[in-house]
Amino acid sequence: MEQKQDNKMEKIVSLCKRRGFVFPGSEIYGGLAGFYDFGPLGVEMKNNLKKLWWDWMTRDHENIVGIDGAIITNPKVWEASGHIKSFVDPLVECKKCHHRFKADDIEEKKCPDCGGELTEPKTFNILVPTELGVVEGEKIRAYLRGEACQTIYLDFKNVLNSSRLKIPFGICQIGKAFRNEVTPGNFLFRQREFEQWDLQWFCHPDEMKKWFEYWKEERMNWFRSLFNHPENLGFYKHEKLAHYAKDAYDIEYLASPIANGKEMEGIHWRGDWDLSGHAKYSGEDLSYTDPETGEKFIPNIVETSGGVDRAFLFLLLDAYTEEEDRIVLKLDPKVAPYKVAVFPLLKNKPELVEKARGIYKELKKRFNTAWDDRGNIGKRYYAQDEIGTPYCVTVDFDSLEKGTVTVRDRDSMKQETVGIVDLEKYLKEKIMGV
Ligand code: GAP
């Protein structure tokens, strides 16, 4: 089967709904643009991805700790951060069909839908406001956080004072962010509610260049280890910088089928913008004093800020493969929702079902394991391939007589006979690579 790039996205959207990865948000009410729910398989995959990121940050790096900050903060935060003034999207509208577009997405100066003339760009602030309080007239305006990283700056001093960390060190966080995107679309790519994984690395101003280069490479290598086609990942250097950045690169997924839709993660040279801004607006001293030299300075920041949902989407695009007579999600086993599926060869042989149930229950303690006894083995393989389950274990009459099972590999489709006593170790080596 030939794989066409332009409709790959449609196929993924359909697979995601059909198999329970991602559903349109509030669908029974006609949906709401820019909002999605993760279904039973999607939440497993997303949690796997977030755990991999979290463990890599906090365990593979000695001096990184995590926080989980609030979504609503004191509204002054967004003044200090520059978002109230500068977090804007320029928007143009077609004078003929009245469709709206982000000015940045328009290459020619006419409407991409009908060719009509466009208005001059107008700017819209994309912070999502909310109101706190119950008495009309006394409510205060607050904002759902427009980027997750702000709470890290707010907690910088608390983390420093409650730990033994010394500069350089990092604080990481995974959390929701909200933006009133004027043109939400392209499935998970541009949503109004989405998740970010951020590292804020605090260092001496003289060491910014070194750490900026270091984190750029580190993050790229991490992504490369998860994609089947690492050659589809690249860097893009920003010419136009965000209000806080002195230098910035995106890690892009180059095979993205979305026009202007490649950015997966940003590596930002934020300098002292954040801590200086919050120190000025809050009146708190957010400087750091080096315990050895006594030097006092405002730590500078290298940020790595990625979209969990975009990584999720790009990993699906990277994994989606059409072969002769099957569709396979060739996901890294560490990311796949189920690691293994267990089948009894025949559903109507109680002794096979009982043996298979025993194996299933044991494996379930260790790995996310699926059970399937519907249809024939071929159909079960097809169903598991489509959701990316890397290994299928079939329990047959040899399992009863010789204590063995057949393990089938998703990608090669090769089958191996494995002793039931060795099965957990065998799968652990295959899945975790240890
Ligand atoms: N703290 C810096 C910051 O928020 P950003 O480039 O605006 O930087 C970081 O966002 C990442 O968040 C992006 O690389 C992208 O993966 C993700 N992201 C941004 N807007 C998004 C949206 N509307 N929907 C889904 N993901 C989004």
**pLDDT tens column, 172-194:** 999 999 999 988 999 999 999 99
Task: Using the atom order of ligand 1, give the atom closest to the CA of residue 150.
Answer: 1
Q: How confident is the model at residue 4 (pLDDT cuts 50, 70, 90)?
A: low
Distance of alpha carbon 150 from alpha carbon 76, whole angstroms: 11
Average pLDDT, the chain: 95
Pocket test for ligand 1, best of 22, 263, 265 (most atoms within 8 A of CB): 263
Q: Is 359 within 8 Å of 388 (Cβ atoms)?
A: no
- Please give all residues whose beta carbon lies within 6 A of any atom in ligand 1, as ranges: 147, 149, 179, 181, 190-191, 194, 196, 263-266, 303, 305-307, 309-310
**62 C-alpha to center of ligand 1: Å?**
26
Distance of alpha carbon 303 from alpha carbon 212, whole angstroms: 8
Q: How confident is the model at residue 413 (pLDDT cuts 50, 70, 90)?
A: very high
Q: How confident is the model at residue 361 (pLDDT cuts 50, 70, 90)?
A: very high
Distance of alpha carbon 31 from alpha carbon 42, whole angstroms: 18
pLDDT of residue 1: 42
Q: Is 192 within 8 Å of 178 (Cβ atoms)?
A: yes
Give per-residue pLDDT as tens, 49-87. 999 999 999 999 999 999 999 999 999 999 999 898 888
Instruction: Give whole-number Cα distances, 263 to 233, 266, 334, in Å.
Output: 10, 8, 23
Give per-residue pLDDT as tens, 146-155. 999 999 999 9
Look at ligand 1, atom 17, and give the residue with the nearest C-alpha.
307
**222 C-alpha to center of ligand 1: Å?**
18
**12 C-alpha to center of ligand 1: Å?**
21
For range 268-295, the mean pLDDT: 96
Q: How confident is the model at residue 2 (pLDDT cuts 50, 70, 90)?
A: very low
Task: Using the atom order of ligand 1, give the atom closest to the CA of residue 263.
Answer: 14
pLDDT of residue 85: 86
Task: Using the atom order of ligand 1, give the atom closest to the CA of residue 250.
Answer: 14
Task: Using the atom order of ligand 1, give the atom closest to the CA of residue 191.
Answer: 24
Task: Using the atom order of ligand 1, give the atom closest to the CA of residue 307.
Answer: 16
Give per-residue pLDDT as tens, 15-43. 999 999 999 999 999 999 999 999 999 99
Look at ligand 1, atom 20, and give the residue with the nearest C-alpha.
190
DSSP 374: S
**160 C-alpha to center of ligand 1: Å?**
27
Q: Residue 100 pairs with which residues in a beta bridge? A: 93
Q: What percent of the chain has pLDDT over 70?
A: 98
pLDDT of residue 238: 94
Q: Residue 197 pairs with which residues in a beta bridge? A: 174, 306
Q: How confident is the model at residue 325 (pLDDT cuts 50, 70, 90)?
A: very high
Look at ligand 1, atom 16, and give the residue with the nearest C-alpha.
307
Distance of alpha carbon 137 from alpha carbon 129, whole angstroms: 16
Distance of alpha carbon 160 from alpha carbon 427, whole angstroms: 41
**172 C-alpha to center of ligand 1: Å?**
15
Q: Is 271 within 8 Å of 301 (Cβ atoms)?
A: yes
Give per-residue pLDDT as tens, 288-310. 999 999 999 999 999 999 999 99
